[in-house]
Structure 1
Amino acid sequence: MRFTILCLWCIVALLSSVQAQRTAVYRFENSFEEESGKLPKLKVLGQEGTFQNEKLPELKNLQRTVYVFDRNCGLQFDNRAANGFLSGSYTIEIYFRFTSLDSWKRVIDFKNRKSDNGCYIFYGKLNFYNFATGTKAPVNPNEYTHYVVARDARTNQLKMYVDGESKVEFTDRFSQGIIDEDGMLNFFFDDLIVKDEASDGAVAMIKLYDYVVDPASIKRDFQLLEEKISQPLVVNTPTPVAPQPVVSPPLPKEVPKENTPEPPKNYTSLDNKNVSVGKAIVLQNLRFAQSKPELLPESNAELENLFKFMQEHPTANIELQGHTDNRGDFDLNLALSRQRVEVVKAFLVKKGISPSRITGKGFGSSRPIANNNREETRQLNRRVELIITKL
């Protein structure tokens, strides 16, 4: 009898824990309302900003409405009005950009401006003042960042992620990452202790979970961010734990040879791939040696093809974006991705292309397009992408 009662109690407890897992979604589609309508809308702190349409280059130039705010003007989630939605265990997910990243820039305040402690970006590093600072992350001015904070009440472990990668982890023994008795969670707004630690910027999404999202799901959510940003989500449903493989995006289709309409003026072609201004094209036949900026011999045809394009379009400017797989140190991979861009740029310059027509960025391992578990797919992440910025 006791065994039966114990089993029933365990089942009830398990069901209760599943039912307790809820998600609040704020998508800023000309509103501060929560998507399900069951949780309070966000309150504006400081001067109210504006809703604007922006292209998100990190999401293949997806265009959508974002909330643009001025310096030291942010947003507030009323946890009291939400009946304590966020407690000791939670996950906070934000997709936003800051205009300025010099020194300390406040992201999240748990103590309603009464403490200098909390979540910052510090010269591009994730920081929870005054307890932990991570290594430099792919956070740049005016570029959107996928920023996640997760806290586990059982262990008091607090983790901070950027673009799906863990950058900070420490034991929050003094509950600095828990909302205090005021019940207010503030975003982007400076505290009253130390001034001038805020930036203007914009936010495209805020999600609040009343449970801890596991690292594999956080990484997967970043990899599928374009879908999450652009499509409605099913709320009040736990995020699946099992990670899913990342599938390489399909190449743009070839234009049919028969009955082909005349392309628009900003449309051209590169090695039978249709490309347009602002659209990212993976130079898939550029192959790099693992952990090195050295191009493999099979890359020669793609390099010549790229040179031919630049030669035939003398007014075109391009941006090269370098990427690596996830093996090794993050910062070393970030440097390696920039070196790979420089190798491609050096080839074009040596062939006579003006360096002023070529810009470059490196993203390290933060933006995979394929699964990193096997070498056959991992090599696809060691790549350079091309974006035509002007024709």
Structure 2
Amino acid sequence: MFNKHGTWPMKSSLLTRNVIILSMVSFFTDVASEMLYPVMPIYLSSIGFSVLLIGILEGVAEATAGLSKGYFGKLSDNQGKRLPFVQLGYALSAISKPLLVAYVFPLWVFFARTLERLGKGLRTGARDALLSDEATAATKGRVFGFHRAMDTLGAVVGPLLALLYLAFRPEDYKMLFLLAFLPGILAIGFTFLIREKKKERPGFISKTKFFDFFRYLKESPSNYRKLLVPLLIFTVFNSSDVFLLLKLKESGLGDTLVIGMYVFFNLVYALFAYPMGSFADKWGMKRIFVFGLLVFGGVYLGMAFAEQIWVFAVLFLFYGLFSAATEGVAKAWITNISHAKDTATAIGTYTAFQSIGTLMASSLAGLIWYSLGPEYMFIISGIAALLIGLYLYFSKL
């Protein structure tokens, strides 16, 4: 499968054994997660969860994932280890799928859902640090882009598998949750093929406390802090994709078309993640990331006034380009301006605050949508993205 140098044959040497394997792990994990994405709210409603309770559940789960990313990223750097965090993190996410349907008691559902997000928090910083270790400053855009491409391809395959299954077994949600465990098992299996490079153990370090990653903001390079501020401001205006799907629904599109548009977006994202990473390596992380923000601004301004299906299709195509130009590129950019020994902490701190910002963004978007109307929510977010893009373009980062 790999040649004697540990690289994928017939490919660029930047796609090392670990890059390929980590990408396959993310692919199968996302297949499992996205199989359940379209049916999660329906299943929760069927077992008696109100909209309010679903909101509280998702809020607790996302807060758990967000804060734990920072802690476990810092812990990974302090221990000088990556692989145990990756293996346990993906294992928890896989096991949580069947646990969600084992019992219908609210506390049990909260436990299982939170366990899944804790797994994400466990693995994120360590996994991205492993990817960073496999790249140079000149190839990180492509390495993170390839990983994002494979991860997002899972978001294409997963919903399609769910739709296919439900076409033959309507409303059989419990079995779907059990079937989602299968790609999760494959993901766990692939983690045992990862080879972590030996590193010198860090010297004496005091016990890692849960909020220690906050201190990294003071210790980090100045460019890291300068970049973090606009990234997190943008996060506050980048609400959940659910609002885009809700706009489609309110415009008269049926459930199949709504899910189909979501799959189309992820397909575009998957196809362009690697090319965008390549462009970032060639032309600079900042230029490609700013391009993504400008595209986001255009898409959201367009969504404020769109009504026809072909317009939505064009906007979702460009929305896929935005994601391809920003998600992996942001992490590659961060690892390039951070010290190698602090990579997991740098990524963990960013993704921790990003998760909190996303919660704020969705709450703010919901408030604006409810009080002023959806067009104002999209216009405000679109203008904010354009302004942040212009600020970054003229900054000295």
TM-score by length of 2: 0.23
Larger radius of gyration: 1
Q: Name the structure, 1 or 2, with higher relative contact order (CA <8 Å, separation 6+).
A: 2
Structure with the higher helix share, 1 or 2: 2
